[in-house]
């Protein structure tokens, strides 16, 4: 097994070298991140001189919050924690589970027990050992009341420690995608148990101690977070000495910082900036499809979306494919489903029932629902057909602009609409309380399993189901799909689910936002993809 | 008539007057002047540079900048006049009361004003918006509140200097009520500095409102607020400079206009200037300045 992997690594490295000469739009196949690389790579790299630069500076939009893995709820902290902590399993470039802290795993025939064989000799940054006891402790915390991931871990009935490095998870029911639950950042990150037991909780939550390739070093609130190389890491690398995160909220400033060498990696830029970057030989641009869906969610418990005819009407009223094409492409691409098109759960274009653009049809439906045009807008029993669109401010690509165009197109069919742009924290507060009619929301996952989207967003009581969507028939299909292990059957079930979701017209679909990376073209050993962007262990700079 | 004549001879007041006139006309006749509505979107022509068809270019939603800037004059003037009005009315009343009655009410009001003055104007406005939430009207209130202490201080000072004058004492002796004295005898005598300050304050209000809008807390889209337009253009400034520059120029012109007009008014109303005019040069120092 090891030999095959090593061979694979060498092949990939060779391919990567060839690809280095190719234009940046064609990224090389990502190298295997976790396995030790062969010493052979040194002689292969003789053409390029390794730079003395060993710090990798990443721009962050927002500051970190706290590092208790089972409570991390924001992408920023998650990205930093990814360097410090590790999980039982990790993802290959194609999103499939691969070994990480567990070297191997087995699933019982009934699908109820998952046995993980842990990597031996791994220690935490504080010197304490990693073993089955730590794993059991961590997942017990993960399913406890204090955890934000208790829904994902509730399926774990209990765990049996077979020996120091073997642990079996017994599930309450078979679950085909259980590996995804273990892999999920942030609940899957395993912290030091000894530190938890000896430290004050608040100190522990701000001083992350994991087993990962980088160790937490310094945090200057509002400015930067610094991580240093873990010399005792079990894997190969890291080649970097430091990973530094700088808090730069403004996208425009990030772009300037990248161009002037202040940071090495930014993950968002405008379409216009991307065009400029592509002309710049010093900057590599990678834009790849990702498991990130964007949609307007219609709150079915609020006027006027309690009426399916109005939900349909607003869909007819908006020409979303053209809007996305005009102002958000190529970063966001229109999609007609809640599930990302890049994942295996999406049945292909034209399969799902979808609503086109026809303002006249929209007005017919509104009239069918009992509204009459009074002046410029529709009214029913003296109540104006008015909709407030909640928009975050630059959280998702072109969010505010898409909301504004949508509002404009609503107005044109006689729906009085306005946009309420809110700061992210305040926005989430209102949205989570269900205090909205219609909201621009996104859902990002590093894995493609459809359950990561459906179970959170449209299952009754799902953790991201803020718009109160509920359909017993759909719930039943989703639960069935969770238990099913045959991939073809699952695929068919999720197709059925998507048809039901679209028939309920709970959304106005916007599209899938790609992932983007902009970094100096001197960077080697790193090939970001939707599932593996955070692996910096082989990264280095050339002159 | 004296004042208006002097004002019309004052060079900077003339320039300021022209600027204000342009902006006010834009605001009043926006529906006639603007070729398009402020939210007429046409995604096909998004981010076009200035040209014959799109004189000031188009923004990221294909809306004509020309039309948006013209409509924006309405929003800006609305905010500025309302905010100045709030500051003038509330601050002026407090200042009159404090200055006229003195004693405990004076100490209480002025202590309160000192607390407010301790915060920079924009910070105070931001704090108020943070409490009230973003929106056009809340910005008016916020900027208005941040102007209250300045008005109060100015009016109190002027009132104090008039209060002890003989003609006021004569009114007291004649049995006039406090309200009558305040309205008919004190107010007309201190209206000069108030007018000057209010004019300058209009400019400041526009700046502050633009600042608040720039931070995303002002008028909500798609209202064509100048500050908000600049804010939206931040992302585009390197590729579509016209989306930020022209609203900036509009703010500049307006504020410049009101400041010049304020200067002119001050010179025209200040009795010391009248005397100095006979000499060689007008003294430029004055108690009235807006921050």
CATH number of the domain bearing residue A463: 3.10.105.10
Name residue, tokens 């209480």: B108
Q: What is the CA radius of gyration of chain B?
A: 22
C-alpha–C-alpha distance, residues A29 and A475, integer Å? 38
Q: What percent of chain A has pLDDT over 90?
A: 51
Min distance B129 CA to chain A CA atoms (Å): 12
Q: Which of B97, B42, B86 is nearest to B68 (CA)?
A: B42
Average pLDDT value for chain A: 86
Q: Which of B82, B79, B117, B89 is nearest to B206 (CA)?
A: B79
C-alpha–C-alpha distance, residues A308 and A315, integer Å? 11
b/e for A406-436, b at 16 or more Cβ within 10 A?
A: bbbbbbbbbbbbbbbbbbeeebbeebeeeeb
- Nearest CB partner across the interface for B236, out of A250, A272, A322: A272
User: Dihedrals φ, ψ of A206, to 5°?
Assistant: -105, 5
Q: Between chains, do A407 and B222 touch, taking CB under 8 Å as contact?
A: yes
* Chain A residues near residue B216 by CB distance under 8 angstroms: 393, 421, 423
Q: What is the CA radius of gyration of chain A?
A: 24
Q: In the predicted model, is pLDDT for residue A30 greater than 60?
A: no
By C-alpha distance, the chain A residue nearest B37 is A408
CATH number at residue A185: 3.90.76.10
Distances (CA, A) of B21 to A327, A408, B69, B197: 37, 32, 15, 19
* Chain B residues near residue A402 by CB distance under 8 angstroms: none
Q: Between chains, do B60 and A327 touch, taking CB under 8 Å as contact?
A: yes
DSSP alpha helix (H) spans, A260-398: 271-279, 308-317, 320-327, 359-368
Q: Residue A14's pLDDT is what?
A: 46
Q: Residue B281's pLDDT is what?
A: 46
Residues 6+ apart with CB under 8 A from A220: none
- Nearest CB partner across the interface for B222, out of A275, A408, A420: A408
Q: What is the pLDDT of residues A474-490, one digit of tens each?
A: 999 999 998 887 889 99
Residue B216 in contact with partner chain A when CB distance is under 8 A? yes
- Nearest CB partner across the interface for B240, out of A272, A400, A405: A272
Tell me, what DSSP letter sits at residue B90?
Answer: I
Which of B45, B130, B132, B221 is the best mutation test for A, with the most CBs of A within 10 A? Answer: B221
b/e for B162-181, b at 16 or more Cβ within 10 A?
A: bbeeeebeebeeeeeeeeeb
**Same domain as A348, residue A467:** yes
Residue B39 in contact with partner chain A when CB distance is under 8 A? yes
Lowest mean pLDDT among A72-76, A209-213, A365-369, A439-443: A72-76
User: Dihedrals φ, ψ of B222, to 5°?
Assistant: -95, 20
Q: Between chains, do A276 and B134 touch, taking CB under 8 Å as contact?
A: no
| Architecture field, domain B2-44+54-290 | Orthogonal Bundle (1.10)
Q: What is the pLDDT of residues A127-175, one digit of tens each?
A: 999 999 999 999 999 988 888 888 788 889 999 998 999 999 999 988 8
User: Dihedrals φ, ψ of A258, to 5°?
Assistant: -65, -45
C-alpha–C-alpha distance, residues B289 and B150, integer Å? 10
C-alpha–C-alpha distance, residues A68 and A146, integer Å? 11
Domain coordinates in residue numbering, chain B: 2-44+54-290
| Chain A residues in contact with chain B using a Cβ-Cβ cutoff of 8 Å | 250-252, 255, 270, 272-273, 275-276, 322-323, 326-327, 393, 400-401, 403-405, 407-408, 411, 418-423
Q: Residue A96's pLDDT is what?
A: 84
Coil vs helix vs strand at B223? coil
C-alpha–C-alpha distance, residues A127 and B181, integer Å? 83
Distances (CA, A) of B175 to A288, B98, B170, B187: 85, 21, 9, 18
**Same domain as A181, residue A326:** no
Which of A250, A421, A430 is the best mutation test for B, with the most CBs of B within 10 A? Answer: A421
- Between strands A102-107 and A113-118, the pairing is antiparallel
Residues 6+ apart with CB under 8 A from A11: none
Q: Residue A26's pLDDT is what?
A: 30
Lowest mean pLDDT among A13-17, A193-197, B183-187: A13-17
Is A461 domain-assigned?
A: yes
Q: Residue B47's pLDDT is what?
A: 86
- Nearest CB partner across the interface for B43, out of A255, A326, A393: A326
- When pLDDT is cut at 50, 70 and 90, the band that residue B272 belongs to is low
Q: In the predicted model, is pLDDT for residue A17 greater than 60?
A: no
Is A395 domain-assigned?
A: yes
Q: Residue A47's pLDDT is what?
A: 63
User: What is the separation of C-alpha A431 from the centre of its chain, rounded to a whole number of angstroms?
Assistant: 19
* Chain A residues near residue B60 by CB distance under 8 angstroms: 327, 401
By C-alpha distance, the chain A residue nearest B222 is A404
C-alpha–C-alpha distance, residues B61 and B46, integer Å? 5
The mean pLDDT of B102-108, rounded to a whole number, is 93
- The answer to whether residues B289 and B200 touch, using CB atoms and an 8 Å cutoff, is yes
Min distance B207 CA to chain A CA atoms (Å): 22
The mean pLDDT of A334-344, rounded to a whole number, is 93
Omega prior to A119 cis, within 30 of 0: no
The range of the structural domain enclosing residue A383 comes to 293-513
By C-alpha distance, the chain A residue nearest B45 is A326
Q: Residue B108's pLDDT is what?
A: 95
User: Dihedrals φ, ψ of A424, to 5°?
Assistant: -55, -45
The two tokens of residue A174 are 């078979």
**Same domain as A306, residue A171:** no
The two tokens of residue A284 are 């590599």
C-alpha–C-alpha distance, residues A55 and A224, integer Å? 13
Q: What is the pLDDT of residues B63-81, one digit of tens each?
A: 999 999 999 999 999 999 9
- When pLDDT is cut at 50, 70 and 90, the band that residue A6 belongs to is low
Q: Which of A471, A451, A447 is nearest to A90 (CA)?
A: A447
Nearest 5°: the CA angle A112, A114, A116 is: 170
Helix (H) or strand (E) holding B282: none
Q: In the predicted model, is pLDDT for residue A109 greater than 90?
A: no
- DSSP assignments along A23-49, one per residue: -TTSPPPPPPSSSPPPTTHHHHTTTSP
Residue B60 in contact with partner chain A when CB distance is under 8 A? yes
Residues 6+ apart with CB under 8 A from B275: none
Name residue, tokens 């991939």: A487
Is A538 domain-assigned?
A: no
Task: Count Cβ atoms within 10 A of the Cβ of residue A172 and give its class: 0-12 exposed, 13-18 middle, 19 or more buried.
Answer: exposed
Q: Between chains, do B235 and A251 touch, taking CB under 8 Å as contact?
A: yes
* Chain A residues near residue B41 by CB distance under 8 angstroms: 404-405, 408
By C-alpha distance, the chain A residue nearest B215 is A423
C-alpha–C-alpha distance, residues A84 and A238, integer Å? 12
Q: Which of B84, B75, B36 is nearest to B56 (CA)?
A: B36
Residue B134 in contact with partner chain A when CB distance is under 8 A? yes
The mean pLDDT of B10-31, rounded to a whole number, is 92
- DSSP assignments along A178-239, one per residue: HHHHHH-TTTT-B--HHHHHHS-HHHHHTS---SSSEEEEEEETTTEEEEEE-TT-SSS---
Q: Residue A492's pLDDT is what?
A: 94
Residues 6+ apart with CB under 8 A from A447: A91, A95, A180, A183, A184, A291, A531
By C-alpha distance, the chain B residue nearest A401 is B61
Q: Between chains, do B220 and A419 touch, taking CB under 8 Å as contact?
A: yes
Q: Residue B274's pLDDT is what?
A: 52
- DSSP assignments along B35-59, one per residue: SS-TT---GGGTTPPS-SSSTT-B-
C-alpha–C-alpha distance, residues B284 and B291, integer Å? 16
Residues 6+ apart with CB under 8 A from A375: none
Q: Which of A75, A62, A2, A88 is nearest to A37 (CA)?
A: A2
Q: In the predicted model, is pLDDT for residue B35 greater than 80?
A: yes
By C-alpha distance, the chain B residue nearest A417 is B222
- Nearest CB partner across the interface for A401, out of B60, B216, B220: B60
* Chain A residues near residue B234 by CB distance under 8 angstroms: 250, 252
**Same domain as A424, residue A299:** yes
* Chain B residues near residue A322 by CB distance under 8 angstroms: 43
Q: Which of B101, B86, B45, B36 is nearest to B201 (CA)?
A: B86
Q: Between chains, do B234 and A408 touch, taking CB under 8 Å as contact?
A: no
Average pLDDT value for chain B: 87
**Same domain as A297, residue A182:** no
Min distance B227 CA to chain A CA atoms (Å): 15
C-alpha–C-alpha distance, residues A514 and A516, integer Å? 6
Q: Between chains, do A272 and B46 touch, taking CB under 8 Å as contact?
A: no
Q: Count structural domains, chain A.
A: 2
- The answer to whether residues A238 and A536 touch, using CB atoms and an 8 Å cutoff, is yes
Q: Which of A530, A507, A531, A527 is nearest to A519 (CA)?
A: A527
Min distance A51 CA to chain B CA atoms (Å): 31
Residue B234 in contact with partner chain A when CB distance is under 8 A? yes
Q: In the predicted model, is pLDDT for residue A410 greater than 70?
A: yes
Is A11 domain-assigned?
A: no
Distances (CA, A) of A270 to A251, A255, A295: 8, 9, 20
Strand-pair partners of A383: A380
* Chain B residues near residue A418 by CB distance under 8 angstroms: 220
The mean pLDDT of A256-271, rounded to a whole number, is 88
* Chain B residues near residue A420 by CB distance under 8 angstroms: 220
Residue B248 in contact with partner chain A when CB distance is under 8 A? no
CA neighbours closer than 13 Å in the CB half-sphere of residue A306: 3
- DSSP assignments along A425-464, one per residue: HHHHHHHHTT--SEEEEEEE-SS--THHHHHHHTSTT-TT
User: Dihedrals φ, ψ of A450, to 5°?
Assistant: -60, -30
Q: Between chains, do A322 and B43 touch, taking CB under 8 Å as contact?
A: yes
Nearest 5°: the CA angle B225, B242, B236 is: 85
User: What is the separation of C-alpha A2 from the centre of its chain, rounded to a whole number of angstroms?
Assistant: 30
């Amino acid at each position: 097994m090891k030999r095959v992997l090593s061979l694979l690594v060498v092949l990939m490295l060779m391919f990567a070298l060839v690809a280095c000469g190719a234009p940046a739009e064609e990224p090389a196949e990502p190298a295997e991140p976790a396995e030790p690389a062969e010493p052979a790579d040194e002689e292969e790299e003789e053409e390029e001189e390794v730079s003395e630069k060993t710090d990798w500076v990443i721009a962050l939009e927002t500051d970190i919050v706290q590092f208790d893995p089972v409570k991390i709820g924001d992408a920023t902290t998650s990205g930093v924690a990814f360097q410090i902590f590790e999980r039982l399993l990790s993802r290959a470039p194609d999103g499939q589970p691969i070994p990480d802290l567990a070297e191997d795993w087995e699933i019982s025939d009934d699908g109820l027990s998952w046995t993980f064989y842990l990597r031996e000799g791994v220690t935490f940054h504080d010197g304490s050992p990693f073993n089955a006891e730590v794993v059991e402790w961590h997942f017990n915390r993960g399913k406890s009341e204090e955890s934000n991931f208790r829904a994902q871990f509730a399926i774990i009935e209990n765990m049996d420690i077979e020996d120091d490095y073997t642990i079996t998870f017994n599930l309450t029911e078979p679950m085909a995608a259980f590996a995804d639950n273990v892999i999920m950042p942030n609940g899957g990150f395993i912290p030091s148990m000894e530190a938890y037991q000896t430290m004050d909780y608040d100190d522990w939550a701000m001083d992350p101690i994991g087993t990962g390739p980088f160790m937490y070093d310094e945090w200057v609130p509002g400015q930067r977070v610094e991580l240093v190389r873990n010399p005792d890491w079990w894997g190969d690398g890291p080649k970097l000495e430091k990973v530094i995160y700088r808090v730069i909220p403004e996208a425009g400033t990030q772009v300037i910082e990248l161009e002037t060498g202040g940071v090495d990696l930014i993950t968002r830029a405008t379409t216009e900036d991307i065009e400029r970057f592509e002309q710049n030989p010093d900057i590599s641009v990678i834009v790849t499809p990702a498991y990130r869906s964007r949609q307007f969610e219609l709150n079915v418990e609020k006027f006027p979306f309690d009426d399916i005819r109005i939900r349909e009407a607003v869909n007819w009223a908006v020409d979303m494919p053209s809007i996305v094409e005009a102002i958000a492409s190529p970063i966001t691409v229109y999609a007609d489903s809640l599930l990302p098109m890049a994942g295996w759960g999406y049945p292909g274009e034209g399969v799902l029932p979808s609503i086109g653009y026809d303002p006249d049809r929209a007005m017919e439906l509104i009239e069918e629902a009992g509204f009459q045009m009074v002046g410029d807008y529709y009214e029913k029993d003296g109540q104006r057909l008015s909709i407030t669109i909640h928009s975050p401010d630059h959280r998702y690509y072109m969010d505010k602009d898409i909301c504004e165009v949508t509002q404009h197109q609503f107005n044109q069919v006689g729906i009085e609409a306005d946009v309420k742009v809110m700061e992210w924290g305040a926005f989430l507060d209102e949205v989570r309380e269900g205090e909205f009619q219609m909201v621009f929301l996104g859902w990002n996952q590093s894995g493609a399993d459809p359950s990561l989207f459906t179970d959170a967003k449209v299952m009754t009581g799902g953790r991201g189901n803020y718009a109160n969507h509920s359909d017993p028939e759909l719930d039943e299909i989703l639960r069935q799909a969770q238990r099913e292990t045959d991939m073809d059957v699952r695929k068919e079930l999720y197709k059925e689910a998507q048809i039901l979701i679209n028939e309920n017209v709970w959304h106005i679909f916007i599209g899938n936002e790609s992932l983007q990376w902009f970094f100096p073209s001197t960077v080697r050993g790193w090939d970001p993809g939707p599932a593996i962007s955070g692996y910096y262990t082989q990264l280095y700079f050339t002159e | 008539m004296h004042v208006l004549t002097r004002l019309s001879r004052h060079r900077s007041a003339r320039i300021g007057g022209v600027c204000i006139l342009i902006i006010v006309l834009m605001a009043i006749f926006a529906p006639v002047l603007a070729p398009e509505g402020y939210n007429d979107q046409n995604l096909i022509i998004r981010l076009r540079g200035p040209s014959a068809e799109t004189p000031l270019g188009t923004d990221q939603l294909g809306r004509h900048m020309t039309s948006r800037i013209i409509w924006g004059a309405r929003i800006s003037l609305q905010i500025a006049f309302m905010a100045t009005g709030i500051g003038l009315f509330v601050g002026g009343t407090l200042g009159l009361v404090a200055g006229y009655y003195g004693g405990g009410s004076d100490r209480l009001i002025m202590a309160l004003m000192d607390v407010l003055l301790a915060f920079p104007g924009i910070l105070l406005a931001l704090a108020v918006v943070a409490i009230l939430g973003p929106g056009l009207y809340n910005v008016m209130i916020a900027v208005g509140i941040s102007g209250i202490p300045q008005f109060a201080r100015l009016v109190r000072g002027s009132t104090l200097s008039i209060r002890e004058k003989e003609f006021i004492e004569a009114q007291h002796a004649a049995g006039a009520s406090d309200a009558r004295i305040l309205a008919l005898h004190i107010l007309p005598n201190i209206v000069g500095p108030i007018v000057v300050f209010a004019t300058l304050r209009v400019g400041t209000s526009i700046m502050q409102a633009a600042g608040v809008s720039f931070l995303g807390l002002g008028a909500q889209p798609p209202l064509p607020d100048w500050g908000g337009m600049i804010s939206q253009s931040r992302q585009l400034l390197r590729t579509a400079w016209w989306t930020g520059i022209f609203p900036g120029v509009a703010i500049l012109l307006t504020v410049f206009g009101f400041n010049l007009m304020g200067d002119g008014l001050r010179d025209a109303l200040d009795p010391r200037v009248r005397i100095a005019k006979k000499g060689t040069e007008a003294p430029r120092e004055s108690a009235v300045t807006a921050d």
